[in-house]
Chain A
Amino acid sequence: MFRQTALALACLLPMGAFASAETYVIDPIHSFPNFSVTHLGMSTIYGRFDRMSGKITLDRAAKTGSLEAKVDTGSVTTGDAKHEAGSFAAKAYGPRSRDEHLRSADFFNVAEFPDMSYKSTRFNFNGDTLESIDGTLTLLGVSKPVKLSVTSFKCAPNPFTKKPMCGADAATIIKRTDFGMKTFVPAVSDEVKIVFGVEAYAE
């Protein structure tokens, strides 16, 4: 009897572990990395990347998880997409817009490095609350450890479709020169605040 029970438990144990680890696919329509920099020490300029993809695995019982996200750097927008010929912007700031400049080799170098990515190494929980994520950010081909502070985290069914989903806001501040992006430092600040707003659906 004891042997049979032990065998049954041994078989069920890994199944239980599999059952509690859930995989979520990032919803690209509702997930954006936003960023902000200080311009000339005067004001804050905001931008965002329109396209990102990736996966999150989460085991709330074991308090572990992983995150892999890829951001299309060519989708960067700051509200200055194109300078029309003869426009004020073209006369004052030249033929190329800020978004075009950000895609150039001076900043995100989209032609050579079309993606930036983040891969977690550890989810840090405080009780049931996900507080931070340790991981590696790869930008312009340079990989550096970056810790994301999770300011908001919630898992629940989508109120309309009832499909299980999770949402989170995670923020960090990086020095762009650490990744070789040196153009116009310090006029455009070295420190860049990045906020990942992510929604993901169970696979």
Chain B
Amino acid sequence: MADLLDNPLVQAAVAPFLVAFVVAVCLWRTRLIGLALSAALLMVVGLTIGFSFEVLSGQRKLVLVAIAATLALPVLEFTPLLWRQRARWSAAAAAGVAAVWTVLRVLQQHEAASALAEGSAAAVYMALLVGSTQAVADDMAITAASALGLGLASSTLALFGASALLAQVGGSIAAASGAVLLLLTLLPRPERAPWTLAFPAAIACGLICLLAVFAGMLPWYCILPTLAVPWITRLTAGARLRPAWQANALAVGAALLPVAAGGLAAWLAGAANPV
């Protein structure tokens, strides 16, 4: 069993998928299905990075922010409708602050003006990603497809940024989102769609992309296509395909377009820039 759990593919895909599947089945009739994605993420962290916080590196801050997002998820989900818009953008702003905190140690080693510009860019990117993911969260299948796209994008970009561990964390989000999409095909949809389903995915994937840039070797422009994932996925809502698996497949296909764009940009950058 220990050998099995040491396998990177099991850590990044199989185990998170199974954990997310079980948690999502248990929470199917609640509005907390987003916790299935958190459970998968925390599982891969337990198997790889670990929960030691002796020295707060960027990776460990990512874990702390992911835990904070998990704790905040129920609070956000049950925010009264009247305050939801405010909660959505407050969460986005908090995510922006968390992004700066996560890459702070790298920023501290740069010139003040450069650090200010880079920190601001990181905060804006993160706030936009989290805000837009929440803004298009009215359909569960589309939201889950967005989360899958973000997971795959962050995993691919982390690999190009030279971090296998971050790629595994991104992979776990994609696998967990796949489990939710599978359940959406197999089970009747819950009466009320949760609007925080992709919240943990947006937080974790945004931070993975930023760490691939700040602590890795990824050019900054390669992560910009990830901002398009929620919006492109939402375009498929108009298709109204039946049965459900066709609609889900279309949403996933749409989510893969920005993933491919980011991956292609990273590949071209890697090929063009000798170290």
Contact = CB atoms under 8 A, between A and B. Distances in A.
Interface of A: 81-82, 85, 94-97, 100-101, 103-106, 109, 111-114, 140-142, 180, 182-184, 186-187
Nearest to B273: A82
Contacts of A95: 159-160, 267, 270-271
B169 to A, nearest CB: 11
A142 B159 contact: no
Interface stretch (B49-57, B81-89, B178-186): B49-57
A97 B217 CA distance: 12
Given A183-B164, A184-B164, 10 more contacts: A85-B270, A95-B267, A95-B270, A100-B162, A106-B163, A109-B59, A111-B216, A112-B58, A112-B215, A142-B54
A156 to B, nearest CB: 40
A105 B267 contact: no
A183 B165 contact: yes
Contacts of A113: 57
Contacts of A140: 55, 57
B270 A105 contact: no
A105 B165 contact: yes
B160 A141 contact: no
Interface of B: 6, 48-50, 52, 54-55, 57-59, 105-106, 109, 159-166, 211, 214-217, 267, 270-271, 274-275
Contacts of A105: 57-59, 163, 165-166, 211, 215-216
B216 A104 contact: yes
Contacts of A187: 6
Contacts of A82: 274-275
B213 to A, nearest CB: 10
5 contacts: A104-B163, A109-B57, A109-B58, A111-B216, A180-B57
Contacts of B54: 142, 180
Contacts of B50: 182
Given A105-B58, A105-B163, A112 B105 contact: yes
Contacts, number: 79
A85 B54 CA distance: 39
A81 B275 CA distance: 8
A82 B214 CA distance: 20
Contacts of B59: 105, 109
B6 A186 contact: yes
Contacts of A104: 161-163, 215-217
B215 A96 contact: no
A111 B106 CA distance: 6
A104 B270 CA distance: 15
B121 to A, nearest CB: 16
Contact of B106 (A100, A106, A112): A112
A142 B60 CA distance: 14
A100 B162 CA distance: 6
Contact of A180 (B6, B52, B217, B270): B52
A27 B63 CA distance: 41
B159 A94 contact: yes
B49 A182 contact: yes
Nearest to B272: A85
A103 B54 CA distance: 21
B168 to A, nearest CB: 10
A141 to B, nearest CB: 4
A106 B8 CA distance: 14
Contacts of A114: 109
Contact of A100 (B165, B166, B275): B275
A112 B58 CA distance: 8
Given A82-B274, A140-B55, A186-B6, A111 B162 contact: no
Contacts of B6: 186-187
B106 A101 contact: no
A182 B48 CA distance: 7
Contacts of B105: 112
A112 B57 contact: yes
Nearest to A82: B275
B57 A106 contact: no
Contacts of B164: 101, 106, 183-184
Contacts of B270: 85, 95-96
A127 B165 CA distance: 49
Interface centre among A97, A104, A114 (most CB of B within 10 A): A104
A180 B211 CA distance: 18
